[in-house]
Amino acid sequence: MADDTNAAWGAKDKEWMPVTKLGRLVKDMKIKSLEEIYLFSLPIKESEIIDFCLGASLKNEVFKIMPVQKQTCTSQCTRFKAFVAIRDYNGHIGLGVKCSKEVATAICRAIILAKLSIVPVCRGYWGNKIGKPHIVPCKVTGHCNSVLVHLILMPRGTGIVSAPVPKKPLMMAGIDDCYTSARGCTATLGNFAKASFDAISKIYRYLTPDHWKETRTQAPAVATT
């Protein structure tokens, strides 16, 4: 298999000592799920928070490793850029990009960055609400530098119709049917992958009619102190 479970890695680590207040609250189980953190848009600064909440269900996958070069006065300095995507099968996805002199270090750091950038994914229906949600609930557009990626909803059974690069994050997010349209310099893999990831993360920012109903929740500051 191309991916490897996060749990095996986490088990070897020592006990986590939180550095931020959010970390301490998560460790003391005062905040029980990631959704509570997302609800109040609290920035997650420690990757161990994600490990703690999602833990064993996280899976990493190396998207691509490419060497990049920088011209120095004597020669060229080659570094490796690693793209790592991380997902759990329950609607969370993250993408991390890191450059480093050694491949393993780049992968390691990219995993941490991927965890810090985990976002929830909302799925919906095209037509009748039968079966599980399978598509993006609305048309979304993501962009990164010059690359623009549109995601368009399609009926069940279409499959993901796209270039190989955005296909991966879409599959990982659990989106089964989608048309994509891309524009810009899609040859730059980094920008293309980030643009599709950006499109996926914009889904929850869209206020759909089912979110119109007013809900009252306690802010975590009140609930935990």
Partner 1 sequence: MAAVLKPVLLGLRDAPVHGSPSGPGAWNASKLGGIPDALPTVAAPRPVCQRCGQPLALVVQVYCPLEGSAFHRLLHVFACACPGCSTGGSRSWKVFRSQCLQVPEREAQDAQTQENSLAAEDWCEGADDWGSDTEEAPSPQLTLDFGNDASSAKDVDWTARLQDLRLQDAVLGAAHPTALSPGLPLFLPYYICVADEDEYMDFVNLDHAHSLLRDYQQREGIAMDQLLSQSLSNDGDEKYEKTVIKSGNQTFYKFMKRIAGCQEQILRYSWSGEPLFLTCPTSEVTELPACSQCGGRRIFEFQLMPALVSMLKSANLGLSVEFGTILVYTCEKSYPMEEFCIIQEDPDELLFK
Residues that bind partner 1 (CB under 8 A): 1-4, 8-9, 12-22, 24, 27, 40, 42-46, 60-62, 65-70, 78-81, 84, 97-99, 103-105, 107-108, 111, 113, 116-117, 187-190, 220-221, 224-225
Closest contact distance (angstroms) between CB of 120 and partner 1 is: 14
The nearer residue to partner 1, 22 or 173, going by C-beta atoms, is 22
The nearer residue to partner 1, 67 or 155, going by C-beta atoms, is 67
The nearer residue to partner 1, 9 or 125, going by C-beta atoms, is 9
Closest contact distance (angstroms) between CB of 158 and partner 1 is: 26
> Which tokens hold the place of 10?
């986490």
The nearer residue to partner 1, 11 or 207, going by C-beta atoms, is 11
Closest contact distance (angstroms) between CB of 127 and partner 1 is: 35
